[in-house]
């Protein structure tokens, strides 16, 4: 059937969710299976997976340990699934999400290949109309974004990219069939978490790898390896306790941050503790001392220790120095973990170019030309990150109740209440939106907390006969001040090139976007707000 405007008539739902990654799948399960809502998920990919559907670059694996990077709501899922390695590689995470989606029979309510390009709110009817790229429309009382924080790729606008005769790829939109690097000269731009994972693998597979580095980065060994049968049994016996622990910590990982200052221990103890943390590897290195991210002097000590490690690993002292971060402290940007990253620069087939010293001038038909010379290349890999947190929301073309684009509303930076709602966008919930812990937490923990809170809120509305929920400018401003306060209580805003601040995307307003007050603290706050009759939200 076709409507008068030539389009198919809108399909009507209680809730439309955008995205079928960790967030969208869980939101579908809770809203459909626990609340009995009629729900549709719109997913631009052709499968479930979200981040892991797109990020298939060489070396892509999760930096959270596999057993912590899972849903926690179902003991049955825990019993039936087991991870093969300490850090899961991207295909294994997709298998996990497919396993969950099949187990809960979620796919029948997901529309794949559906890219949302517009969303408008009918103020009188209290309903959203959501439009996809193909012109299909969906209406729903609740519109829920589950688009992830790092799903809009940032491809820098280098002059001449169109003229390049080789192939180029962004790591966040990697070809599903893979890329054959055999015999190729590869240029990689970017040394964030992604670049640090990719470079060692590309170096092994290619004829030559040239890494174009703008800001050197710290990295701690991941120490990946197969998961032993004993550890798998330990997990089966202790999953409940592990999940409970994750919910009590600052970052949603199942370990506490030490209560000891690095400034209060003897040089021998400091060395012993840092060396043990280095040997254990993982993001836990951040937690070796209490004040890594709160005290400049402490951060300096730990950063110096890590700088020294780079010089120990990299044989050529000049290259080691080029790789050594001097402009920011450890973990003030998202700290990467790696498998043989610094070791890669000891290989004969790897070149490191410092593009602060010799900036990229243009991309030529043959490769990349810096101020110093041209580097001939067959393939360019952009490991240049994402338009984080706000980019994925802007891409949806969401308009406020009075028709303003979210992009314009947030021209000076995002402003939300709890990262869950935006004033003038009633009945819109943003899972892991800016202003919530999101990327500062182990993502599944942040996701489940938001989805559970939204589910309870909608249940409350249904029980009390309310049609509409919204927040106010005043609440968003107060919360925005709290987001600023929490960030400024840490050293996080000090890394001037950090994507947490939007600094990686030219023209993006600088505002520290995630809530740095800690995952457990934030969850308690949200619980209290709900208990107080959803303080700061208005129902009608
Ligand atoms: O992106 P990034 P990423 N010219 O923004 C450089 C998550 N993640 O994809 O630092 C030249 O960190 C840029 O340089 P600079 C994780 O949260 C998770 O690596 O801005 N260079 C930087 O070196 C992570 O933090 C996992 O000066 C340019 C790099 O490109 C987040 O994703 C695994 C440039 C971008 O680094 C993003 O990481 C991997 C330009 N114009 C990633 N523009 C998991 O474990 C940018 N760069 C789940």
Q: How many CB atoms lie within 10 A of CB 234?
A: 14
Report whether residue 449 contacts ligand 1, using a CB cutoff of 6 Å: no
Report whether residue 499 contacts ligand 1, using a CB cutoff of 6 Å: yes
ipTM confidence: 0.99
419 lies in the same domain as 511: yes
Report whether residue 383 contacts ligand 1, using a CB cutoff of 6 Å: yes
182 lies in the same domain as 221: yes
443 is a domain residue? yes
Closest CA to 451 of 19, 83, 11: 19
Say what the pLDDT of residue 8 is. Answer: 64
133 lies in the same domain as 189: no
184 lies in the same domain as 329: yes
90 is a domain residue? no
Q: Is the pTM of this model over 0.80?
A: yes
Closest CA to 168 of 349, 17, 382: 382
As a whole number of Å, the CA-based R_g of the chain is: 23
- Best substitution site from 193, 500, 503, 506 to test ligand 1's pocket, by max atoms within 8 Å of Cβ? 193
Whether 109 and 138 have beta carbons less than 8 Å apart is answered as no
Say what the pLDDT of residue 313 is. Answer: 98
Give Cα separations from 363 to 73, 156, 349, 358, 491 (angstroms): 49, 11, 21, 14, 36
Residue in the block written with tokens 């993006």: 508
127 lies in the same domain as 265: no
Compute the distance from residue 214 Cα to the ligand 1 centre, in Å.
11
Q: Last residue of some domain: 324, 351, 385?
A: 385
Q: Last residue of some domain: 366, 385, 404?
A: 385
Domain region containing 178: 154-227+247-385
Alpha-carbon span 477 to 417, nearest angstrom: 8
Q: Last residue of some domain: 368, 385, 402?
A: 385
Compute the distance from residue 215 Cα to the ligand 1 centre, in Å.
10
Smallest CA separation from ligand 1 atom 47, residue: 384
For the chain of 540 residues, list the mean pLDDT of each consecutive stretch of 10.
Answer: 57 98 98 98 98 98 96 96 96 98 98 98 98 97 98 97 98 98 98 98 98 98 97 94 97 96 98 98 96 97 98 98 97 97 98 98 98 98 98 98 98 98 98 98 98 98 98 98 98 93 94 97 98 98
Compute the distance from residue 195 Cα to the ligand 1 centre, in Å.
7
CATH code for the domain of 262:
3.50.50.60
Say what the pLDDT of residue 2 is. Answer: 47
120 lies in the same domain as 164: no
Report whether residue 214 contacts ligand 1, using a CB cutoff of 6 Å: yes
């Amino acid at each position: 059937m076709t409507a008068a405007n030539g389009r198919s008539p809108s399909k009507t739902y209680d809730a439309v969710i955008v995205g079928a990654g960790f967030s969208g799948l869980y939101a579908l399960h809770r809203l459909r299976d626990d609340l009995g809502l009629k729900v549709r998920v719109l997913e631009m990919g052709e499968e479930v997976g979200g981040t892991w559907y797109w990020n298939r670059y060489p070396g892509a694996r999760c930096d959270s340990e596999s057993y912590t990077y899972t849903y926690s709501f179902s003991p049955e899922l825990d019993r039936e699934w087991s991870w093969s390695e300490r850090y899961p590689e991207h295909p294994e995470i997709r298998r996990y999400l497919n396993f969950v989606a099949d187990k809960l029979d979620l796919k029948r309510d997901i529309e794949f290949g559906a890219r949302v390009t517009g969303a408008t709110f009918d103020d009188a009817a209290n309903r959203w109309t959501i439009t996809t790229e193909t012109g299909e429309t969906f209406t729903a009382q609740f519109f829920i974004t589950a688009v992830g924080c790092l799903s809009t790729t940032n491809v820098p606008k280098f002059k001449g990219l169109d003229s390049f005769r080789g192939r180029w790829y962004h790591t966040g939109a990697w070809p599903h069939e893979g890329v054959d690097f055999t015999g190729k000269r590869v240029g990689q731009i970017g040394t964030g978490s992604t670049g640090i994972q990719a470079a060692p693998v590309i170096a092994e597979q290619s004829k030559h790898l040239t890494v174009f580095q703008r800001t050197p980065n710290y990295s701690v060994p991941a120490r990946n390896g197969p998961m032993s049968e004993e550890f798998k049994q330990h997990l089966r016996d202790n999953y409940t306790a592990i999940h409970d622990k994750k919910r009590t910590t600052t970052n949603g990982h199942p370990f506490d941050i030490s209560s000891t200052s690095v400034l209060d221990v003897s040089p021998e103890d400091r060395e012993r503790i840092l060396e043990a943390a280095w040997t254990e590897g993982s993001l836990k290195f951040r937690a070796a001392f209490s004040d890594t991210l709160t005290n400049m002097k402490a951060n300096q000590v730990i950063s110096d220790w890590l700088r020294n490690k780079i010089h120990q690993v990299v044989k050529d002292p000049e290259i080691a120095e080029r790789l050594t971060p001097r402009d920011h402290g450890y973990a003030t940007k998202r700290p990467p973990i790696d498998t043989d990253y610094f070791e890669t620069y000891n290989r004969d087939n790897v070149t490191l170019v410092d593009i602060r010293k010799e900036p990229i001038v243009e991309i030529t038909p043959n490769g990349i030309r810096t101020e110093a010379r041209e580097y001939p290349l067959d393939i360019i890999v952009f490991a240049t990150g994402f338009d984080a947190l706000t980019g994925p929301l802007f891409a949806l073309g969401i308009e406020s109740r009075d028709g303003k684009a979210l992009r314009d509303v947030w021209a000076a930076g995002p402003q939300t209440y709890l990262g869950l709602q935006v004033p003038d966008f009633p009945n819109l919930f943003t899972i892991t939106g800016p202003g919530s812990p999101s990327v500062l937490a182990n993502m599944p923990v942040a996701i489940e907390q938001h989805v559970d809170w939204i589910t309870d809120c909608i249940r409350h509305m249904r029980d009390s006969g309310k049609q509409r929920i919204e927040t106010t400018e005043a609440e968003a401003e107060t919360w925005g001040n709290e987001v600023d306060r929490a960030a400024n209580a840490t050293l996080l805003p000090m890394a001037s090139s950090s994507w947490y601040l939007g600094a990686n995307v030219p023209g993006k307003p600088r505002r520290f976007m995630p809530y740095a007050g800690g995952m457990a603290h934030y969850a308690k706050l949200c619980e209290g707000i709900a208990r107080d009759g959803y303080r700061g939200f208005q129902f009608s």
